[in-house]
A and B are shown apart, each in its own frame.
Chain A
Amino acid sequence: MFRNTAAIYLHLVGPLWGKKSGASLTRCLHQTLAMAKRLPARRLDGIDHNPWVEFGKLASEADVVNLGQGFPDFPPPDFAVEAFQHAVSRDFMLNQYTKAFGYPPLTKILASFFGKFLGQVIDPLKNVLVTVGAYGALFTAFQALVDVGDEVIIIEPFFDCYEPMTLMAGGRPVFVSLKPCPTQDRELDSSSNWQLDPTELASKFTSRTKALILNTPNNPLGKVFSRAELELVASLCQQHDVVCITDEVYQWLVYDGYQHISIASLPGMWERTLTVGSAGKTFSVTGWKVGWVLGPDSLLKHLRTVHQNSVYHCPTQGQAAVAQCFEQEQMLFGQPSSYFAQLPQAIQHNRDHMIRSLQSVGLRPVIPQGSYFLITDISDFKSKMPDLPGAADEPYDRRFVKWMIKNKGLVAIPVSVFYSVPHRKLFDHYIRFCFMKDESTLQAMDQKLQMWKDELRP
């Protein structure tokens, strides 16, 4: 039936064929005869929208300073560049597949390096899986363990992918918010001040709870969970027999003498924890897309099953380069010349610079203990200019960010993006800035802020 109709149409417009034009008539025609069946699989329901696409577009406008998306705009350290160069110029067989679950020198060094941190003997074959970024590790974990109807506890504010990944696995996200304790007037808030209510957290665990996803240091807040806080989470996970998926990509970016603690190192937790890490965030090479999961074989075997049925292998040379980077860092660890010592020192300066600068226009930053990000309170703006353009029910912070990009040339991310839909209105007075940026970018930021400040004068 279709075919004949197609033939008749095409016959009638015959002379136009063969012309290479923007949208061929044939193509247009075919689209009118598109499939009647529902196309997308149901597992995609509700997860097709992505905030980064929207804000990414806005950020690519001319003459803006992009402090939105979280990646460095400065070069990676020389040793990382050299490691990649080495990986692509030696043995040509590195251009071919490696072992599915991880390039052996990489799994070996990850096992030995993190074994020390977690106080655990880590077997490179059983307890390590290399993935396409930490993002890929998270996906693999959710697919391996979360069943239809399983509940997953997500602590807000959360890195936005946790919710759609839960949904795609048929799971039910259960949210619990970090809440700021009231601060003294004039004192800047700190991420350490944002805490979980223990009773509230406990109430979120049910017999259907399969997993809890923890992110420390936290994106967007920058909170570094304390030992006591981790012990609370750990005891609830053990009590309710829940898997803890811990996203620790910013583990080396910790400031002011705070300590990153991996929950997997707490008593009773190794056997129920999946620890996710990222080469991109560790070595400032987000474009290499190399991540990993560490955990007990009893859980990792399921992630391996997902992995071999989704991507199967990760690219070889990126893994070889990361292995070399870790081998170098292992030798320097604890010394002042270690990248893991130098990087947080340098970035803390950036953080402090940004905190000072943002205050000059009435933004109130929350001092982050870690990560690439800080959030700023925009309540004063909300009360002074509540009616910014935007859709009827669009949260204030989104409208503010769009206004700021357009009028002040600064890009940030609205924090409501990191909250569940019902809670967005409660936290619509914060925006997130990334300070993992070159000095020149921070100076450009200063210029924009100066102009903004000048406009504020009566």
Chain B
Amino acid sequence: MSSKLKNAKRIEGLDKNVWIEFTKLAADPSVVNLGQGLPDISPPNYVKEELSKVAAIDSLNQYTRGFGHPSLVKALSCLYEKFYQNRINPDKEILVTVGAYGSLFNAIQGLIDEGDEKPVDGKKWSSSDWTLDPEELASKFNSKTKAIILNTPHNPLGKVFTNSELQVIADLCIKYDTLCISDEVYEWLVYTGNKHLKIEAPVVVQASPQASLAAEGYPDTSSCTLQLLLRLSPAPARHQDHNQNQSRRVMALDTQLLLTPSTLGALAPVTTALSRPRVLPADTSAAPALGTTFPGMWERTVTIGSAGKTFSVTGWKLGWSIGPKHLIKHLQTVQQNTIYTCATPLQEALAQAFWIDIKRMDDPECYFNSLPKELEVKRDRMVRLLESVGLTPIVPDGGYFIIADVSLLDADFSDMKDSSEPYDYKFVKWMTKNKKLSAIPVSAFCNAETKSQFEKFVRFCFIKKDSTLDAAEAIIKAWKRQAS
């Protein structure tokens, strides 16, 4: 083979992909698959019906608008305006992409150059609690820092970033004139006591802030508003939103990892320190009302969402980026030079599904409310199961994954060829083959420096039907019995 028929330099080192490797392993139908994050439950019936209806509409079989099918961008604008409390221009401030993965790609290709830096959350074991260390994070920012990728709720940990953590990030972004790419695909999957916060949500003045602010001891509205902004700390003002009756308790855990999408431009990933989990007292400074301020963040943030995760239709591969037009236009340029447009019928069906749920956001039947309730039950079941066999799961406050330290489960790697792989890679391969249960090694989410600190953890996905979870339970219990 000749020397010229070779790859471009930009893909050097990017050929290995944990998902390709592990999904192949789990493809055996006798394996109980708690690995890859896809539901084996059915999407809601009305979602399936909408897709069925659109197949009959001739014009929907041809190209639609490149940056997003008109009815879909309209629906997205309508939905998200409720959260931003501001108009979102459907043509200029929204881009529909091939899944949230496609949005991440467009954002990075559109905005990140070679040599730009991007703090990537690594993992550093420290004896202190697992929190985002503001000083360490700050030390990773410099004048070359172009963007930070934020993922909340977080995959794989299930962390839901607190107001104060978002504050730290927002402060740094503004200080260093840095972009924020906020991956919020699990935004609806937040469990009791937690609230999904949007770092880019602009200022909102509550209808009657005075009473609540007064409770904090602020003297009067005008000066306290000023103070509110300057302090950027949570006000106890309440906000009615679709997730009614969420208490303001802070979540139980702060550990974080970040899955870095591989890029096709050189990046200098910069690891930041993280720390171990802790359980915070239930009534520590409450998560703030939605829309509490992170001024200056709308103009520098691209927020990414996913139809796959919203409606349990990962195979539709539709996602979106929302942001100010001076950022979105660059993602649109990438789009017109990569895939040009996304599939029409799927976008129309998604728009219709959104309209159904937008109309009933306060209703428990709305999928944005019913799915997290359904999943919380499954989460709790997984937590009990893992605890019952002596594993220490990290209870996620959001998302549909749970990670656990599996060192107490016996595994025999004596016949594993590649002993240089991290423990969790070997463990998952062994478990898949021998116990017919698959998961994903958590060190796959770490960079080289920090892999060793997570190699005892594996990630389980719990957006699975009861029979799948029953099967997993049987395997794990039998395993533990065997060992003792």
Residues of A within 8 A of B (CB): 2-4, 6-8, 10-11, 14, 17-18, 20-24, 26-27, 30-31, 33-37, 39-44, 47-48, 50, 52-53, 69, 71-76, 80-81, 84-85, 88-89, 92-100, 132-133, 135-136, 139, 143-148, 150, 161, 164-165, 168-169, 210, 241-243, 271-272, 280, 284-289, 298-299, 301-302, 304-306, 308-318
Q: In the complex the two chains form, is A95's CB within 8 Å of B333's CB? A: no
Q: In the complex the two chains form, is A26's CB within 8 Å of B203's CB? A: yes
The answer to whether the Cβ of B64 comes within 8 Å of any Cβ in the partner chain is yes
What 7 new A-B contacts, CB under 8 Å, besides A26-B203, A286-B62, A310-B338?
A48-B329, A81-B61, A139-B338, A164-B337, A241-B4, A285-B61, A287-B344
The answer to whether the Cβ of B357 comes within 8 Å of any Cβ in the partner chain is no
The answer to whether the Cβ of B9 comes within 8 Å of any Cβ in the partner chain is yes
Q: Which of B17, B207, B337 contacts A168 (CB 8 A)?
A: B337
Minimal beta-carbon separation of A315 from chain B (angstroms): 4
Minimal beta-carbon separation of A141 from chain B (angstroms): 10
Q: Which of B14, B296, B300, B342 contacts A309 (CB 8 A)?
A: B14
Q: In the complex the two chains form, is B177's CB within 8 Å of A315's CB? A: no
A135 contacts across to B, CB distance below 8 A: 338-340
The 9 closest A-B pairs by CB, nearest first: A287-B344, A316-B315, A18-B205, A7-B229, A302-B7, A75-B58, A30-B299, A17-B205, A132-B339
| Contact mask for chain B residues 315-329; partner A; CB cutoff 8 A; 1 contact, 0 none | 111100000101101
A243–B8 CA distance with the chains assembled, in angstroms: 13
Cross-chain pairs A/B with CB under 8 angstroms, 8 sampled: A17-B205, A27-B86, A35-B177, A92-B48, A287-B344, A305-B7, A305-B11, A309-B11
A210 contacts across to B, CB distance below 8 A: 4
Q: In the complex the two chains form, is A85's CB within 8 Å of B56's CB? A: yes
The answer to whether the Cβ of B43 comes within 8 Å of any Cβ in the partner chain is yes
Q: In the complex the two chains form, is A6's CB within 8 Å of B229's CB? A: yes
CB closest residue in chain B, given A40 = B330
B20 contacts across to A, CB distance below 8 A: 100, 308
A16–B329 CA distance with the chains assembled, in angstroms: 29
Q: In the complex the two chains form, is A317's CB within 8 Å of B51's CB? A: yes
Would you list which residues of chain B between 58 and 79 have a CB under 8 Å from chain A?
58, 60-64, 66
Minimal beta-carbon separation of B312 from chain A (angstroms): 7
B329 contacts across to A, CB distance below 8 A: 48
Known A-B contacts A241-B2, A306-B264; the reply to A95 vs B339 at CB < 8 A is no
Q: Quick check: which of B99-107, B376-384, B447-455 contacts chain A, the rest being far away?
A: B99-107
B324 contacts across to A, CB distance below 8 A: 27, 30-31, 34
Would you list which residues of chain B between 230 and 275 have a CB under 8 Å from chain A?
230, 232, 261-265
Known A-B contacts A39-B326, A143-B8, A310-B102; the reply to A33 vs B296 at CB < 8 A is yes
Q: In the complex the two chains form, is A169's CB within 8 Å of B232's CB? A: no
A287–B349 CA distance with the chains assembled, in angstroms: 13
Known A-B contacts A84-B55, A88-B48, A310-B338; the reply to A241 vs B296 at CB < 8 A is no
Q: Which of A11, A22, A139, A311 contacts B337 (CB 8 A)?
A: A139
A242 contacts across to B, CB distance below 8 A: 4
Known A-B contacts A24-B86, A94-B315; the reply to A76 vs B58 at CB < 8 A is yes
Q: How many A-B residue pairs have CB under 8 A?
A: 305
A100 contacts across to B, CB distance below 8 A: 19-20, 23
B330 contacts across to A, CB distance below 8 A: 39-41, 44, 48
A76–B55 CA distance with the chains assembled, in angstroms: 11
Q: In the complex the two chains form, is A241's CB within 8 Å of B5's CB? A: yes
B52 contacts across to A, CB distance below 8 A: 85, 88-89
Q: In the complex the two chains form, is A315's CB within 8 Å of B336's CB? A: no
CB closest residue in chain A, given B13 = A305
Q: In the complex the two chains form, is A71's CB within 8 Å of B62's CB? A: yes
A147 contacts across to B, CB distance below 8 A: 8-10
The answer to whether the Cβ of B156 comes within 8 Å of any Cβ in the partner chain is no
Q: In the complex the two chains form, is A41's CB within 8 Å of B113's CB? A: yes
A10 contacts across to B, CB distance below 8 A: 203, 225, 229, 295
Known A-B contacts A95-B313, A95-B315, A98-B315; the reply to A34 vs B101 at CB < 8 A is no
Interface centre among B43, B58, B63, B230 (most CB of A within 10 A): B63
A305–B206 CA distance with the chains assembled, in angstroms: 49
The answer to whether the Cβ of B134 comes within 8 Å of any Cβ in the partner chain is no
Q: In the complex the two chains form, is A136's CB within 8 Å of B338's CB? A: yes
Q: Quick check: which of B32-40, B281-289, B429-437 contacts chain A, the rest being far away?
A: B32-40
A150 contacts across to B, CB distance below 8 A: 8
A246–B405 CA distance with the chains assembled, in angstroms: 51
CB closest residue in chain A, given B299 = A30
Would you list which residues of chain B between 154 and 172 have a CB under 8 Å from chain A?
171
A80–B345 CA distance with the chains assembled, in angstroms: 13
Q: In the complex the two chains form, is A75's CB within 8 Å of B8's CB? A: no
Interface centre among A76, A286, A312 (most CB of B within 10 A): A312
Minimal beta-carbon separation of A28 from chain B (angstroms): 10
B346 contacts across to A, CB distance below 8 A: 315, 317-318
Q: In the complex the two chains form, is B43's CB within 8 Å of A95's CB? A: yes
B3 contacts across to A, CB distance below 8 A: 241
Consensus secondary structure, chain B interface: loop
B63 contacts across to A, CB distance below 8 A: 69, 71, 280, 286-287
A161–B5 CA distance with the chains assembled, in angstroms: 22
The answer to whether the Cβ of B468 comes within 8 Å of any Cβ in the partner chain is no
A94–B48 CA distance with the chains assembled, in angstroms: 11
A35–B324 CA distance with the chains assembled, in angstroms: 12
A311 contacts across to B, CB distance below 8 A: 98-99, 101-102, 105, 317, 339
Would you list which residues of chain B between 131 and 189 have a CB under 8 Å from chain A?
146, 171, 174, 177, 179
B264 contacts across to A, CB distance below 8 A: 143, 306, 309-310
CB closest residue in chain A, given B334 = A44
B87 contacts across to A, CB distance below 8 A: 20-24
A317 contacts across to B, CB distance below 8 A: 51, 315-316, 346
Minimal beta-carbon separation of B262 from chain A (angstroms): 4
CB closest residue in chain B, given A20 = B85
A27 contacts across to B, CB distance below 8 A: 86, 202, 298, 324
Q: In the complex the two chains form, is B99's CB within 8 Å of A312's CB? A: yes
Minimal beta-carbon separation of A353 from chain B (angstroms): 21
B338 contacts across to A, CB distance below 8 A: 135-136, 139, 310
A76–B298 CA distance with the chains assembled, in angstroms: 43
Interface centre among B60, B111, B337 (most CB of A within 10 A): B337
B66 contacts across to A, CB distance below 8 A: 52-53
Would you list which residues of chain B between 350 and 372 have a CB under 8 Å from chain A?
none
Q: In the complex the two chains form, is B36's CB within 8 Å of A75's CB? A: no
A4–B226 CA distance with the chains assembled, in angstroms: 9
Minimal beta-carbon separation of B46 from chain A (angstroms): 13
B232 contacts across to A, CB distance below 8 A: 3
CB closest residue in chain A, given B300 = A35
A88–B350 CA distance with the chains assembled, in angstroms: 13
A75 contacts across to B, CB distance below 8 A: 58, 61
Interface centre among B295, B324, B342 (most CB of A within 10 A): B295
B36 contacts across to A, CB distance below 8 A: 97
Interface centre among B38, B203, B342 (most CB of A within 10 A): B203
B192 contacts across to A, CB distance below 8 A: none
The answer to whether the Cβ of B42 comes within 8 Å of any Cβ in the partner chain is yes
A20 contacts across to B, CB distance below 8 A: 81, 85-87
